[in-house]
A = this chain, B = another copy of it.
Amino acid sequence: MPETEGASAIDCAHGPFDNAPIGIFDSGFGGLTVAREIVEELPNESIIYFGDTARCPYGPRSQEEVDGFVQQICTWLVDRGVKLLVIACNTATAAGLEHAQRTFSVPVIGAVEAGARAAARATKNRRVGVIATKGTVESECYPRAIRHIDAGITVFSTATPKFVDIVEQGLRISNGPIEDLTSKASKVYIRPAFQEIAQDYLEPLRRCEVDTLVLGCTHYPMLKALIGGVMGHGVLLVSSAEEMAKDVRETLALRGQLAAPDNEPTHEFFTSSNAVEEFQSFGSRVFNREIGRPVHVDLPEL
Contacts and interface: CB of A to CB of B under 8 A. Distances in A.
B150 A5 contact: no
Contact of A9 (B107, B227, B229, B236): B236
A132 interface: no
A239 B9 contact: yes
Contacts of A121: 107, 247, 250-251, 254-255
B152 A122 contact: no
Contacts of A9: 118-119, 122, 236-239, 242-243
Contacts of A251: 121
Q: Which of A124, A126, A243 has the most CB of B within 10 A?
A: A124
Contacts of A148: 145, 148
A98 B120 CA distance: 14
B8 A237 contact: yes
A118 B254 contact: yes
Contacts of A231: 6
* Count of this chain's copies in the oligomeric assembly: 2
A126 B103 CA distance: 12
A14 B122 contact: yes
Nearest to A252: B121
Interface residues of A, number: 56
A235 B8 CA distance: 9
A9 to B, nearest CB: 5
A104 interface: yes
A111 B223 CA distance: 37
Contacts of A236: 6-9, 14
Interface string A179-193: 000000000000000
A7 to B, nearest CB: 5
Nearest to A9: B238
A177 interface: no
A235 B113 contact: no
A97 B8 CA distance: 27
A255 B122 contact: yes
A225 B2 CA distance: 13
A5 B231 CA distance: 8
A247 B118 CA distance: 10
Contact of A225 (B5, B224, B237): B5
8 contacts: A6-B225, A6-B228, A7-B235, A9-B122, A9-B243, A14-B211, A101-B151, A102-B152
Given A9-B119, A14-B211, A104-B152, 7 more contacts: A6-B224, A8-B236, A9-B239, A10-B242, A108-B152, A122-B255, A124-B255
